[in-house]
Structure 1
Amino acid sequence: MRRTNLASTTFVILLVSLSYALPVRGDLASATKAYQAQQYTEAYQQFKTLATLGNVDALYNLAVMNLHGQGREQNLNKAFSYFVLAGDYGLSAADNHARLIAQQLEHNPEHSEIFTQLAHQFDIREYNLRLGFESSDLGDTSTLSTTYQVQPNYPSHAIEKGIEGWVWAEFDIDASGAVKNTVVIDAYPPHVFEESVLAALKRWRYVPPESQNARRGRSLLYHFNTHKGERYRQSFTSQQRLYAEEISALVEAAEQGQSDIQYRIATWLSSEQYNVSQLLKAHWPDNDANITLLRASAQNNNAKAQYRLAKKLLNNSDPRTRQIGLNWLRVAANNQLSAAQWTLSLHTTNSERKMWLKRSAKQGHLRAQIDLVQLLLEEPKSAEQDITFWLNQAQQQDNTHPDLLWAQALFNKHRGQPYQQLMSQARQQAQSRGWSEAAYQD
C-alpha cells in the first residue's frame, strides 16, 4: 500500500484567530486561546470537556493535538479515533485526515482498544440518546393561563437612549395563582430592566396548576423592544451601514466559539423586534437560527444556554425528550449554575435532592436555602445546628419571608419553644405580599 507522508499534510487547529474578551468558563474560544499560548495541557482538558457536550470542533482539535503530541504524547491511534468521531458528527474534512493516518499504521486502527474506548465515550448515537434533540422538541406544551397581567414599564431612560434588552425571570405560583419567589436568572443589559419585570410580576395572577411541582420554577423571558414604525424602516439601510463593523464583530466572535456571544445572539434572534436581530438576520436568516445558536452555546459549555435548553425540553410531554432535558439540566447544574441545581432538586429524591439543595444553597440561592431548611425539618435525625445555620443564611436575604417565618415556627415547636406568634407573622407577611395564606395554617 502506498503511504502518504503526513509531514506534507497540514493539520491546523480549528478557530485559531481570537481578538475578543473571553468568558470565565472554558469555551471553544478560550480553549483555542490556551492552545495558541502553548498551554497545551489546559487546552486539551477544555477541548475534552467540550467534546462530551457534542462539540465537533473540539473533537477535531483533540485529534490534531494527539497527532502532534501537544498536551499528550503523540498517539496516532487516538488522532485517528478523534478524526473519525468528528467525521461522524458531520465534519467531512476529518474523514480525509483519518484515512491519511490509517495509511501510516501497520494495523487497522478501528480494531484498536483505544478506538473502541473513545468510540464508546463519544459515539454520536449515544450522544443523541443522551443530549440530542430537534428544534420541534423545544415547544412549550405546559403554558399556563393568566387571569390578570400587567406589562412591565419600559424605563424612560432606556427609551430615550434606544436601549433594548431582555429579562429572564423565574418564579413560583401559589395555591391562589399569585406569583412568589421571583428571581432574575439573566438580564441584558444588566441593571436596566430587572426592576420593571419584578414589579410587574408581583401583580400577575395565574390559573394555579393542580400539581405542586408544576407551580415551581416557572420561566419567563420578557423582551423590551422599541417601536418599529415607518421612520425606523426608512432608516434601516443606513443603520446597516452604521453598525456593520459591530455586527461583523459579533458574527466573528460567535463563529469562533465565544459561548456568551452565541447565547446573546440566540436570545436576540428569539424576537424579531430587536434592532440588532433585524441586522443579524442577514447572517442567520433561518427561522431556527436562535435554536441553532443556543445549542452551539450549550455545546460550548455555557451554563445559561444549557439551562434554557433544559427548561424548554422539560416542558415537552414526550418522556424521552423530558429525559434529554433532565440530562442537560444535570450538565448545567454540574457547571455550577445555582438555579439549575435548585431546579434539579425538584426532579430528584432523597439524598440526591439534598445534595443539590446544599450545592445551590451554598451559592446563596434563597429558594434552595428555604427548601433545605424544610427538608431538614422533615428528617428525624437532622442536627439542630444545621437547621439553625441554613435558617440564618436565608434570613440574611429575607428575614420576613413567610416560608422562613413558618419554618422557624415549626423549628421552635419541635424544640418546645414559643411558635404561635411566628405562625401569625407568617400569615401576615403572606397577606401583605398578596400570597395565599393556605400554606401557613397549623
Structure 2
Amino acid sequence: MRNNLISGLIFSFLLSISWLTKADLYDATLAYQNEEFTLAFSEFNRLAQLGNADAMYNLGVMYLYGQGTEQSAANAFAWFSLAKEFGIAEAFQTAQLVLQQSDDQSGLKDFVTLQRNRLADTYLLDSTLARLKQPNIVSTPSKTHDVLPDYPDEAVRQGVEGWVWLEFDIDQSGKATNIEVVDSYPKHIFTASLLNAVEKWRYSGPKQAHTLIYHFATYKGEQYRETLAIQKKAYEKQLKQNIDAAERGVAQVQYYIANWLSMKDYNAYQLLRYHWRSEEPVNELYLAAAKNGLDLAQYRLATQLINVGEHRLSVLWLEHAAQTMDIAKYRLARTLLTNTEQQDAPRALQVLTEASNNGHLRSTLLLVNTYLTRLNDKTQAKTWLRHGLTIDPEHPELLLLSAKLTDNQVEAKKLASQALKSASQRNWSSKAIRLFQQKLAN
C-alpha cells in the first residue's frame, strides 16, 4: 500500500522544512497520526474535491471507523470506490470488504453513483493532463529586442539555480507593462535581474496577461563549475530529500521539482529525471501539487489550459487558486468576461472587487474598464478609478481613463497631458493618449 495512505507506516521526518507553509496531504496525514481527526477529516475532504486519490482513500478509512465524522459504511464504500477510480488499485479490495459486510449492498452502490454526480467537476479536473496535450491556440508575440538578465555574482559563487515567474501586459509599442512577480525561487535572488532585463525587452505586438517563467541555470554562470565538485555531495543529499518529500505529498516540493524538471540545464535535472521517467513528468507533478492544494500549481495549470482553449477546465482551477491568489482572481475574471454567458459577469465583478480591495492594480484596471465599456456604469467606474489612483497615482492608463470620464474639457486636457508624461517616463506606448488628445482638439 502506498505510504501516503494513513493505513501505511507513520513517517516523522522533514518537519522542520520551511516548505510546509500550506496544508497538504503531508499535513493532513500528520494531523491524523496526532489524532486530530476533525482537522484531518476537513483537510482530506478538501483535497478529495480536487481529485486527490490518497485523500479519498483516507476519507474512506475515517468514515469506516467514525474518526472526525459519523461512522458510515455507505460513505466509506463510496470513497474507497472513488479512490480506485482515481488511481489507487488496492482501494477496490477494501471497498469490496465493506460491501460484503453490508446488509444493503444495493444502497451502497447507489450511494457511489450519487457521490460521482456530486464530484462532476472533480472528474473534469482529473482530465487535465489529457487536455494539456492539445496544441496552443493562443498566440504569443515574438520578441524583437532581447537582453539577457545578469546572473547575480553571489548566486554564481554559491552555485544557486532558480527561476522567476512573471506575468505582464504588452502594450502597442511591444513594451512590458503592469509587471507582476507570481513566484520566484529562491526568493529575491534573481527577481531584480530579470525585471531589469524585461524593462528593455520589446515584443512584436500587444497582448494581455502574458506569462513568462525564466530559468536561471548554471550554464549562465561559468564560474559555478569550479564550485560544483565541492558541493556535489550535499547537493545530491538535498535532491534525495526533495524526492522523498514529494512522494509523501509535500505539495510545494512537488511544484519545485516540476520546475527543476522543466529545464534540462539545471544540475538537478539529471538526477530528478532518472527518478521521474514518465513522458511528461513536469505536468504530472504540477497536477499532483494542484490536487494537493497548492495554489501556485493550480494557477500554473490554469494558465496552460487557457492557452489550449479549455475554458471550463481553466475556470475550475482558477476558482481554486483564487481562494488565496489575487492574480488568480484577476485571470478568473478575464476568463469569465470572455464568455458570452451573462451569469458569468457577476462572479467576475465579485472576484475583481475582492482583488482590487487587496490592492491588486490590474484587477482595478479591469474593473474600471468593465464598468465603463461593458456595463455603462460611469458612477462605479469613477469609484474604482479613484481607488486605482491610490495604488498608482501616476499610472498612464488610469490617468487617461480619468481624462475620459471628466466632463470638464480643461481638466481632461490636463489629465491627458499627465498621462502622456507618465507614459513617456515609463517608455510605454502613448498611442491611445495621443488619439484622445487629438479628439479633444477637434
Normalising to structure 2: TM-score of the pair? Answer: 0.86
Q: Which residue of 2 aligns with 1:17?
A: 11
Q: Distance in 2 between matches of 1:32 and 1:164?
A: 31
Matched, 1:45 2:3: no
Q: Which residue of 1 aligns with 2:129?
A: 134
Contact 2:173 2:428 in 1 (8 A): yes
Q: How far does residue 101 in structure 1 lie from its aligned partner after superposition?
A: 1.1
Contact 1:303 1:337 in 2 (8 A): yes
Deviations 1:72-121 (A, max 9, x none): 11111211111111111121111111111112111215555533321322
Matched, 1:224 2:213: no
Q: Distance in 2 between matches of 1:221 and 1:306?
A: 15
Gaps of 5+ in 1: 1-10, 210-214
Matched, 1:371 2:366: yes
Indicate the SS of the match to 1:227: helix
Indicate the SS of the match to 2:427: coil
1:260 pairs, out of 248, 252, 265, with 252
Q: Distance in 2 between matches of 1:156 and 1:409?
A: 46
Q: Where in structure 2 are the equivalents of 1:55-66 lying within 5 Å?
A: 55-66=52-63
Q: Which residue of 2 aligns with 1:300?
A: 292
Which one is further off, 265-274 or 279-288?
279-288
Q: Where in structure 2 are the equivalents of 1:184-195 lying within 5 Å?
A: 184-195=181-192
Contact 1:314 1:323 in 2 (8 A): no
Amino acid in structure 2 at the alignment position of 1:203: K
1:422 pairs, out of 415, 418, 424, with 415
Matched, 1:324 2:324: no
Q: How far does residue 416 in structure 1 lie from its aligned partner after superposition?
A: 7.7
Matched, 1:338 2:326: yes
Contact 1:240 1:279 in 2 (8 A): no
Amino acid in structure 2 at the alignment position of 1:345: A
Structure 1 runs of 4+ aligned residues shifted over 6 Å read: 228-238
Indicate the SS of the match to 2:402: helix
Q: Distance in 2 between matches of 1:14 and 1:220?
A: 40
Amino acid in structure 1 at the alignment position of 2:398: L
Deviations 1:151-198 (A, max 9, x none): 111112211221111000011111222221111100111111111111
How many aligned positions are there?
Answer: 418
Contact 2:258 2:286 in 1 (8 A): yes
Matched, 1:403 2:397: yes
Q: Distance in 1 between matches of 2:255 and 2:21?
A: 14
Q: How far does residue 287 in structure 1 lie from its aligned partner after superposition?
A: 4.3
Q: Where in structure 2 are the equivalents of 1:63-74 lying within 5 Å?
A: 63-74=60-71
Q: Distance in 2 between matches of 1:382 and 1:368?
A: 17
Which one is further off, 163-172 or 192-201?
192-201
Contact 2:50 2:125 in 1 (8 A): no
Amino acid in structure 1 at the alignment position of 2:432: A
Contact 1:228 1:273 in 2 (8 A): no
Q: Which residue of 1 aligns with 2:439?
A: none
Q: Where in structure 2 are the equivalents of 1:203-282 lying within 5 Å?
A: 203-208=200-205, 215-227=207-219, 241-282=233-274
Closer, same or farther in 2 for the Cα pair 1:117/1:161, shift >3 Å? same
Deviations 1:333-384 (A, max 9, x none): 2x22111110111122332322121122122211112222333445555546
Q: Which residue of 2 aligns with 1:212?
A: none
2:424 pairs, out of 423, 431, 435, with 431
Q: How far does residue 303 in structure 1 lie from its aligned partner after superposition?
A: 0.8
Q: How far does residue 397 in structure 1 lie from its aligned partner after superposition?
A: 3.5
Q: How far does residue 40 in structure 1 lie from its aligned partner after superposition?
A: 1.3
2:173 pairs, out of 172, 176, 181, with 176
Normalising to structure 1: TM-score of the pair? Answer: 0.86
Matched, 1:291 2:279: no
Q: Distance in 2 between matches of 1:176 and 1:230?
A: 35
Amino acid in structure 2 at the alignment position of 1:167: V
Q: Where in structure 2 are the equivalents of 1:22-37 lying within 5 Å?
A: 23-37=20-34
Closer, same or farther in 2 for the Cα pair 1:361/1:330, shift >3 Å? same
Q: Which residue of 2 aligns with 1:165?
A: 162
Q: How far does residue 436 in structure 1 lie from its aligned partner after superposition?
A: 1.5
Matched, 1:145 2:142: yes
Q: Distance in 2 between matches of 1:194 and 1:155?
A: 10
Indicate the SS of the match to 1:97: helix
Closer, same or farther in 2 for the Cα pair 1:84/1:234, shift >3 Å? farther
Contact 2:31 2:40 in 1 (8 A): yes
> Cα RMSD over matched residues?
2.8
Amino acid in structure 1 at the alignment position of 2:213: L
Contact 2:158 2:227 in 1 (8 A): no
Q: Distance in 2 between matches of 1:329 and 1:156?
A: 37
Contact 2:99 2:105 in 1 (8 A): yes
Indicate the SS of the match to 1:171: strand
Closer, same or farther in 2 for the Cα pair 1:192/1:111, shift >3 Å? closer
Contact 1:173 1:180 in 2 (8 A): yes
Contact 1:146 1:207 in 2 (8 A): yes
